[in-house]
Each structure stands twice: as C-alpha cells, then as structure tokens.
Structure 1
Amino acid sequence: MRLRLLGLLMLSVAMGAVQAGNRQRELDYANGLQQSAGQSGGVWLTSGGQPFFALFTEAEKTDNSRAVIVLHDMGEHPDQQPVVHGLRIVLPQHGWTTVSIQLPLREMGASREDYYGLFDEARGRIQAGADYLRNRGAKNIALVGYGMGAAMAAYTLSQDSKGLDALATISLPLPDSALPQAQIGEFIKNIALPFLDVYAEFDLPEVADTARQRRMLGKDNPVYRQIRINGENHAYRHDPMMLIKRIYSWLALSLGPN
C-alpha cells in the first residue's frame, strides 16, 4: 500500500498536478520521515485526488475520542523540531490523539506571499485529516497550527468550521497583503470557537507587533485567550515544553478533561 501511494505521488509530480505545490519536496520529506530510525505512525491520506503524508499517534490510556490536527510552519514537515514534534508526541500522553499532516509546499526560498495560493489545498487536507480522525473514533477535534500552519487553520475555519471544536494558534501572523487568503484579521473576528493565541516575546514582527491588534479582533469572542511566552523567539527552542504545556492545559480547560 505504501509503495502504491508513493507511486501515485511520484506520478502527480511528473504530471504537474493542478493546484499542487512542490510535490517533490513533499515526497522527499515523506521518504525521510519513513526511513528515520524508530519512526512509526506514518499514514497516507487523500485530498482532491492527491495523496499526502501524515503522522498519526494514538492517545495513551484512553480512546481516540479527543483529537488534534497539528499543522507545521512554512516549508516544513509533520515532524518539525521542536514545536510540531513535541506537540504530536506529548499531547497523546495527555489523552489527545494527534495527526500531524504534511501541508502543501512551495519551492525552496519561496516567500510567504507565495504560500497564500496554497490555502485552499491546505483546507482540503485539514478536512481529510478531520475525516480520518472521525473514522478512528474522534468526537472532539481541535486544530493546533504553527506559523503558516496557524494562518491556514484560521483560513479553514473562516470557510467552514463544521466538525472542528477549537483552535490554538502558535505565532499567528497578521500579514500586510491584499490577497483574500491573507485577511487573517477578518478570520479572527469571525471565529466563535475556543481560541488560544500564543506568541513569543521575540517573535517575528508580523506576529509580535500585531499581538494587541489580534487581541482587539478577538474581543467579541468570550472564549478567545492570548498568551505571550517570555524569553522565546519564533523557534521556541529555549523551552518548547513550556509552550506545549500551555497548549494541552488549555485544551483540557476548553474542551474538558479526558
């Protein structure tokens, strides 16, 4: 099955599939993750007729009824260190099944502006991840997105929040762009779900400098909360467990303990 899906993905690379990003980069990441020592939980999902890779981790000591879709930052992969890797393996220790999905990519060196054209493709993948989790028994599903993954999550919820129960964003930017997919401020105003907005003290300018603006945009949502992680920058390498603890503690408060 894995070889067949790899073959399908390679075929889509050769054919230059419509609406696709850089599928060769995705294939390289998938191959690397599957060959990593001790790597397990690799699954292939499908959206828009195209296969994409994900890492699935079941919750410990409980069923799979509470689940999280983990979304990596721009140009990265489903086991991005330290944030995404930490989320996908630590959340299951606290009763949350995770599926960390490969988001669509552009070529190396592409700008943030280049990624906005991939948001609809990302939305399809998020929906496919939610379907996969529901088929595994999930009843409550949260999105946890990092950087560009956070922006893709906000866009997805702006289009259709059905079947999704909460949103935690890590380093969510408010970009200076006229593109419709980049209107993150408008998306924030329309999100009525439990919403955690986490950013680092020394984050990217489009994140740290817009923190108050995001807070004001979320003021009409009674379950919006913003947290600043002091002493960290966008990479959260000083103490990533502090960030992850804030996420699973908030999930338990917002959607109830397992």
Structure 2
Amino acid sequence: MRPLNNSSILILLLISNFAFAQVVPNYAKEKRWASQVEDGLMDGDVVWLNANKRQFMSLYTPSETNTKRAALIVHGLGVHPDWAQVIQPLRVALSEKGWHTLSIQMPVLANDKDAMQYIPLLTQADNRIKAAVDYLQQQGLNADAIVSHSLGSLMSAHYLDNQQHSFKYFIAIGMPDLAVKYLGKIRIPMLDLYGVDDIEPVLKSIKERAQASKKNKHYTQKRVDADHFFNDKDTLLIDEVGTWLK
C-alpha cells in the first residue's frame, strides 16, 4: 500500500471534520418524548423554550415556598426531562424543599449512539442551558443550582467551563470520564455523587475527576450505596442532594 501524502491526509481530515460537524439532534425522537411526557405529566407545567432555531420542551415545577432560588435539572443520555429514574424524583422533590425547578430537554440521538457521539452536540447543549437560564431570570428567579445526571453532567460541566454563568452550585450525579477535561476551571461548590455499583465510565474516572477538581476548594466527591440510576433508592438520592444544597 502506498503511504498517504500530505494532500491525501488533508482531504481525509476535512472529510472527518465535516462528518463530525454534521451531527444533529434527533428532533423526531424529541417530539415523541414531548408527546409522551405531556400526556402523562402529573407535576409541573410544560414550558417551550427556543435555542439553535428550534423549540425544545422543559418542565417547570414551582416551589411550595416563597423563594427565588431555582434549580436547573439536566437529564442523561437519550431520555427526557421527566425521566422516571433520577430526574423526575429530583425535579419534584426539590420543589418541596424550597427550590423552583426547570427540567430541560437536552439534545438526543438515536438509541444506538453512545456518549462519545454526543460530543459534537455540546455547543447546542450549552445554548439550551442558556435559554433555560434566561427563562428563569425572566420569571424573576435566580438560576442558583444546576443538577445533572450522567451525560447531563458532561453537558453541564462543558457549559460551566465555557460560559459565563451565575450558578452557585453544581451537582453531578454519575458523572462519566468524558467530563474530566471540563472540570479544571469550575470553582463553585460541586457535589460529585456516584454509586458503588455505578457504570464503568464513572467508576474508572473517580481519581481523575478529583484530580481535575483539585483547585476547587468547594469540591466534594461522595460514594453512596446505589447504582447509576438509583434504582429503588429515590429517598437516598433526594436526601443526599437536598442535604448538600442546604
């Protein structure tokens, strides 16, 4: 086989970069999720927001107390803002603990796509988080906390690393290894919460996440008796998050 010359290598790089840039969210899947969520919504209200020249769904759940504190809830890979595991329990429970919550639909891909294939969508994810923050501020609320799960923790870390923001607290539940590179500049109080039976990308990066956050004096890493989705451990999850936010 003949070795590639510089021109051939350049062409391959351009083709690769073009393919990378062409990754777009699965809007049809988002539409199906939205229909499903609206039909079964028990708590909160649907609010449609705009980013990247598209509408996306969010769920606003007002606090039961007189407060201006709001928490943004960011779900994980391929799901929706009322996902029964982690997301729905938190968005409702935090509203009972003195927080308005806004759970937002993040970009999703087809079911067979893994976390690495979401990397080209991080900028779009940033824009959705920014739109959610703007909405909360328009309601006279303070976007004080960002509470995220799994891939949502990667998206949230990317936002905090790359955007000016007003968040005071960052909770990352089941944060994967891909987020390590975005932790170095984060200085706000952060809870890195994971389970003893978590998934491999979380467990294999425990030390790396702590090392990347060594300059954050307000970084806390905590392991609890749970799996990645806190199956049958909603009370544990709510207690850990609620207590830390106090």
- Which category of TM-score, normalised to the shorter sequence, fits these structures? 0.7 to 0.9
Structure-1 separation of matches of 2:91 and 2:202: 23
1:237 pairs with one of 224, 228, 231: 231
CA deviation after TM superposition for structure 1 residue 39, in Å: 5.3
CA deviation after TM superposition for structure 1 residue 202, in Å: 1.0
Alignment of 1:91-102 (within 5 A): 91-102=94-105
Alignment deviations for residues 47-105 of structure 1 (CA, whole Å, 9 cap, x no partner): 12210001100011213x11111011100000111200001100010100000000011
The AA in structure 2 aligned to 1:240 is D
Task: Call closer, same or farther: CA 1:114–1:80 in 2, change over 3 Å.
Answer: same
Residue 73 of structure 2 contacts residue 91 of structure 2 at CA under 8 Å; is this kept in 1?
yes
CA deviation after TM superposition for structure 1 residue 139, in Å: 2.4
- Residue 32 of structure 2 corresponds to 28
CA deviation after TM superposition for structure 1 residue 220, in Å: 1.7
Gaps of 5+ in 2: 1-21
The AA in structure 1 aligned to 2:28 is Q
Gaps of 5+ in 1: 1-17, 176-183, 253-258
- Residue 182 of structure 2 corresponds to 187
1:216 pairs with one of 211, 214, 228: 211
Alignment of 1:1-258 (within 5 A): 20-36=24-40, 38=42, 40-63=44-67, 65-175=68-178, 184-230=179-225, 232-252=226-246
CA RMSD, Structure 1 to Structure 2 (Å): 1.5
Structure-2 separation of matches of 1:106 and 1:200: 26
Structure-1 separation of matches of 2:209 and 2:128: 26
Q: Which runs of 4+ in 1 moved over 4 A?
A: none
- Residue 6 of structure 1 corresponds to none
Question: Which has the higher Rg, Structure 1 or Structure 2?
Answer: 2
Task: Call closer, same or farther: CA 1:40–1:140 in 2, change over 3 Å.
Answer: closer
Residue 136 of structure 2 contacts residue 143 of structure 2 at CA under 8 Å; is this kept in 1?
no
The AA in structure 2 aligned to 1:92 is S
TM-score (norm 1): 0.83
